């Protein structure tokens, strides 16, 4: 059997956006992924669903697998002829024991490549607004393990020289030994008033930074209840944080926002929330399932030439319709001569992905908006096809019928409760761990409230944000107080409304 190859890939310090392009390519090609603790598991979602994923994380005082066992595992998987990614936090060669792992591979004549990652020693201070070097302020940098006990007799660190020879000192894995590190630096000549920053959960939505000086930082960290993992920065560059802080100054920083969209749709909303500093909690209230009986849709597709209008009210409807169209060996040419409407930009974008530019997108992204636009046309006697959800309301159908149109409304997908996710949501809401609940459809309201058996008190202190008036009406009828309503009924509009709400001091 041909021996495989191992890629030692640096995943970066926590923010999944900091992984390199080559690292992503390796993940997508991997047969086996052997990964560490402290990684954002969204990186694993980028790998093939067929890839074997093996966790070998380490916590202080508790190793899931000892290092020699990890080395043997890398060798064994490669000898099976597989492509292996060893996914490590930060950079594999910066206090990450990556050198030991490739030594084991080299000793066993296993082919390997090293894909460097963004080290937390530089990235975490940067996310806290601290450049580790600055002209005229700091021209030298040392990255030091904080894991080694400074008090032990045989320390490999030369504290006497280290304390004053380098402008900026960055300690990794040093939280447990912070008091001892401070004491050693002061003992060997570093001024007690030297600025220090301790950054926990760096580059992640939960990032927290405590600033002090050598003579008080240990006390301040204890007062703020910071815990590992954390990066310790010592030096004059810490003073720049007050002016250069950016990550923690974003408008929604630290807000935990429940994303209740269907699982496959949650990424767009989560991405926009993350960009504004929020911590999205993807606990979808619903899942989307295609209807199993397609006879009615197949009949409509076979008679497309009899329709004058095809109206889509969601991206899900677009996906379901075109999946069936393709399954019947047809394509967009079958829509020749039919006017197509999309209820809003997200639906229009789903159509554009299939090469279709809608003839009409209303200015107001609602059923009322579509009906208002149709009033300017004489649609009397015209036939409309509406591929929709099984629980869609009748407002659009009734409006078209009042204008003289004939409507064939066909359920092409259905929404079902995501029971496991809702159970998790109940626990987090009851514990007061959610700041905002987002509702992007009436079905998400219905299913979440059904899970709570109609007891609105179980949402705790969380604010309620709705994408549009119809969803807000459903929330109100369910007994909820709607705190935030999107001005523009899109995902981006919903996020903007949440941002505005907190900016105004709510």
Q: Which residues contact 420 (CB under 8 A, 6 or more apart)?
A: none
Distance CA 474, CA 439 (A): 10
C-alpha distances out from residue 121 to 56, 221, 379, Å? 22, 19, 65
Q: Are 80 and 54 in contact (CB under 8 A)?
A: no
Comparing CA positions, the residue from 40, 37, 87, 39 lying closest to residue 59 is 37
Spatial separation of the C-alpha atoms in residues 41 and 26, rounded to whole Å: 16
Reported as type and span, the H/E element at residue 342 is strand 339-342
Identify whether 36 is a catalytic site residue. Answer: yes
Give CA–CA dist 62/134, Å, rounded: 38
Residue 360, φ and ψ in degrees, nearest 5? -150, 130
Q: Is 288 helix (H, G, I), strand (E, B) or coil?
A: strand
Nearest to 144 by CA among 181, 114, 180, 176: 181
Q: Cis peptide leading into 380, omega within 30 of 0?
A: no
1 catalytically annotated? no
Is 149 noted as a catalytic residue in this protein? no
Three state DSSP letters for 409-424: EEEEEEEEECHHHHHH
What one-character DSSP code corresponds to residue 138? B
Three-state SS letters, 381-400: CCEEEEEEECCCCCHHHHHH
Q: Which one from 173, 175, 204, 463 is the annotated catalytic residue?
A: 173
**Structural tokens at position 151:** 């008090």
Per-residue tokens: 428: 């987090």
Q: Which of 36, 40, 167, 435 is catalytic?
A: 36
Q: What gap in Å lies between CA 280 and CA 133, rounded to an integer?
A: 33
Signed CA dihedral, 303, 305, 306, 309: sign only = positive
Catalytic residue among 22, 53, 58, 458: 58
The 10 Å Cβ neighbour count of residue 79 is 14
Q: Could you please report the per-residue DSSP string of 418-484? A: -HHHHHHHHHHHHTT--SEEEE-SHHHHHHHHHHTTT-GGGGTT-EEEESSHHHHHHHHHTT----E
Nearest CA to 401 out of 422, 373, 382 is that of: 382
Q: Annotated catalytic sites, by residue?
A: 36, 58, 173
């Amino acid at each position: 059997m041909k021996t495989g190859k191992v890629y030692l890939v640096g995943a970066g310090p926590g923010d999944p956006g900091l992984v390199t392009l080559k690292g992503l390519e390796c993940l997508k090609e991997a047969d086996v992924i052997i990964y560490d603790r402290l990684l954002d598991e969204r990186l694993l979602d980028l790998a093939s669903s067929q890839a074997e994923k093996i966790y070998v994380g380490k916590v202080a005082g508790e190793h899931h697998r000892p290092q020699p066992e990890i080395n043997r595992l890398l060798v064994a998987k490669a000898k099976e002829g597989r492509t292996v990614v060893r996914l490590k936090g930060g950079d594999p060669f910066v206090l990450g024991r990556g050198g030991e792992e490739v030594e084991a591979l080299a000793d066993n004549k296993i082919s390997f490549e090293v894909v460097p990652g963004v080290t937390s020693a530089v990235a975490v201070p940067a996310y806290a607004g601290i450049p580790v070097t600055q002209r005229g302020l700091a021209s030298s940098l040392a990255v030091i393990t904080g894991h080694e006990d400074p008090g032990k007799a045989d320390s490999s660190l030369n504290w006497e020289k280290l304390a004053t020879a380098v402008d900026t000192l960055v300690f990794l894995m040093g939280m447990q030994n912070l008091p001892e590190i401070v004491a050693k630096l002061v003992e060997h000549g570093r001024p007690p008033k030297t600025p220090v920053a301790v950054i926990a959960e760096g580059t992640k939505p939960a990032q927290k930074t405590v600033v002090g000086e050598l003579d008080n930082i240990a006390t301040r960290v204890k007062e703020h209840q910071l815990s590992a993992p954390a990066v310790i920065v010592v030096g004059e560059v810490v003073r720049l944080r007050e002016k250069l802080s950016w990550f923690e100054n974003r408008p929604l920083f630290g807000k935990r926002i429940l994303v209740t969209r269907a699982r496959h749709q949650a990424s767009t909303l989560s991405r926009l929330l993350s960009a504004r500093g929020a911590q999205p909690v993807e606990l979808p209230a619903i899942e989307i399932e295609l209807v199993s009986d397609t006879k009615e849709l197949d009949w409509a597709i076979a008679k497309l030439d009899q329709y004058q209008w095809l109206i889509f009210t969601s991206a899900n409807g677009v996906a379901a319709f075109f999946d069936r169209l393709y399954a019947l060996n047809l394509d967009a040419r079958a829509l020749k001569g039919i006017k197509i409407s999309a209820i809003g930009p997200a639906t229009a974008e789903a159509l554009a992905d299939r090469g279709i530019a809608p003839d009409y997108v209303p200015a107001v992204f609602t059923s009322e908006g579509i009906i208002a636009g149709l009033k300017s046309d004489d649609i009397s006697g015209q036939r409309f096809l509406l591929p929709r959800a099984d629980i869609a309301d009748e407002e659009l159908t009734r409006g078209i019928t009042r204008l003289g149109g004939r409507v064939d409304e066909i359920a092409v997908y259905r929404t079902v409760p995501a029971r496991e996710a809702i159970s998790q949501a109940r626990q987090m809401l009851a514990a007061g761990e959610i700041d905002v609940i987002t509702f992007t459809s009436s079905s998400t309201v219905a299913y979440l409230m059904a899970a709570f058996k109609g007891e609105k008190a179980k949402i705790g202190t969380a604010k309620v944000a709705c994408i549009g008036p119809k969803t807000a009406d459903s929330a109100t009828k369910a007994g909820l107080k709607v705190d935030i309503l999107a001005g523009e009924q899109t995902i981006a509009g919903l996020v903007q409304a949440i941002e505005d709400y907190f900016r105004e001091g709510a």
